[in-house]
Structures are given as structure tokens and as C-alpha cells.
């Protein structure tokens, strides 16, 4: 743990903070944030952890917020929240119908973004804790893959340049 903190301090916490904030934004997420951070020389392991946390925390907030809104809706209005609408929501519902919560969680970062994928899972009747579990596992897998591919890509470019 001390090594991670030392790396953070040497590289400057601002770069890692930018990674966390970028990963948390729905239109950037880990697919767009990790490769440039590694290319700019930030530690790949720390980038992966920070990006994962930055992307996962809004997902937790979405699930928690949805559960509270749904509970409120059931008590106050006597019915659950309405389903997801719109073109992007319909694409997510098709994936959910075909592959289930695990499929939407794994494909979500590519199809709709992980934040919208979670909303579609919940609005389409998926159980909140199951959606959170599968989305977290998917984010971890995507993070490891993107970090590994970014390291290989940076090394290949550096090898060609040298």
C-alpha cells in the first residue's frame, strides 16, 4: 500500500484524480481514460485501480438511488418506477432480453456505457444487487483488459520509436 501511495505522490496526484473523474463521467468512462493516462506515463496498476473506483462509484450511486426512488414510488404512488424509454434504452432492453443481466453488464461499456446499462437493467426489472454484482465484475474485467492492452500498445510504440 505504501508503494502505491509513493507512486501516487511521485507522479502527482492530479493525474490520478483526472483519471478517476474521467472514468466517472458517462461519456468518457474507462475505455477512453485509461489508454492516454498510461501513455502519459502514469503507473498502469494505479491507473487501473483509480479508474475502476472512479467508474464503479457512480454505478453504486445509481443502484442506491434507483432503489430509494423505487421504494418511494411504491409507497407514495403504489407502483414501481416506469421502464426505460428511448432508442438507446431499447437497444439495452434487447441485449437484456437476449443475454440477461450478465450479458448487458459485460457488453454495456461498448454498447451504451456502463451507467446507462445499469439504468436499463434496473428499469427493465433487473434486481439491483445482481446488477451491481455483474456490473462490478464486468468493470473489473474491462479494466484489466484495457490496462493490459494499453501497456502492450505503449511498449510497442516505444519499441518502434527507439
Three-state DSSP state, 107? helix
CA quadruple 88, 89, 93, 95: dihedral sign: positive
**Average pLDDT for 28-39:** 90
**Average pLDDT for 8-16:** 71
Query: CA 145, 130, 73: angle at the middle one, nearest 5?
Result: 130
Q: 63 pLDDT exceeds 90?
A: yes
Residue 20: HSE in the Cβ half-sphere, 13 Å Cα cutoff: 12
Domain ranges of the chain: 2-161
In 3D, which of 154, 134, 135 has the Cα closest to residue 47?
Answer: 154
Which pLDDT score, from 0 to 100, does residue 14 have? Answer: 84
- The residue with greater pLDDT, 133 or 71, is 133
Query: CA 117, 118, 120: angle at the middle one, nearest 5?
Result: 65
9-13, 71-75, 114-118: range with highest mean pLDDT: 114-118
- pTM confidence score: 0.81
Which pLDDT score, from 0 to 100, does residue 98 have? Answer: 85
Which pLDDT score, from 0 to 100, does residue 1 have? Answer: 46
Q: What is the pLDDT of residues 97-153, one digit of tens each?
A: 888 899 889 988 888 889 989 988 888 878 899 999 999 999 999 999 999 999 999
Which pLDDT score, from 0 to 100, does residue 84 have? Answer: 47
Task: Report the distance separating Cα 135 and Cα 117, nearest Å.
Answer: 9
Amino acid at each position: 500500500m505504501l508503494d502505491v501511495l509513493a507512486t501516487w505522490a511521485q507522479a502527482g496526484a492530479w493525474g490520478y484524480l483526472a483519471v478517476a473523474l474521467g472514468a466517472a463521467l458517462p461519456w468518457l468512462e474507462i475505455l477512453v481514460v485509461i489508454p492516454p493516462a498510461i501513455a502519459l506515463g502514469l503507473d498502469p496498476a494505479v491507473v487501473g485501480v483509480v479508474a475502476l473506483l472512479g467508474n464503479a462509484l457512480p454505478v453504486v450511486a445509481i443502484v442506491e438511488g434507483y432503489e430509494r426512488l423505487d421504494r418511494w414510488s411504491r409507497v407514495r404512488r403504489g407502483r414501481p418506477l416506469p421502464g426505460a424509454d428511448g432508442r438507446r434504452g431499447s437497444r439495452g432492453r434487447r441485449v437484456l432480453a437476449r443475454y440477461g443481466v450478465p450479458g448487458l453488464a459485460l457488453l454495456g461499456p461498448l454498447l451504451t456505457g456502463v451507467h446507462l446499462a445499469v439504468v436499463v437493467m434496473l428499469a427493465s426489472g433487473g434486481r439491483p444487487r445482481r446488477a451491481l454484482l455483474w456490473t462490478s465484475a464486468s468493470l473489473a474485467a474491462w479494466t484489466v483488459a484495457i490496462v493490459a492492452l494499453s501497456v502492450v500498445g505503449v511498449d510497442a510504440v516505444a519499441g518502434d520509436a527507439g
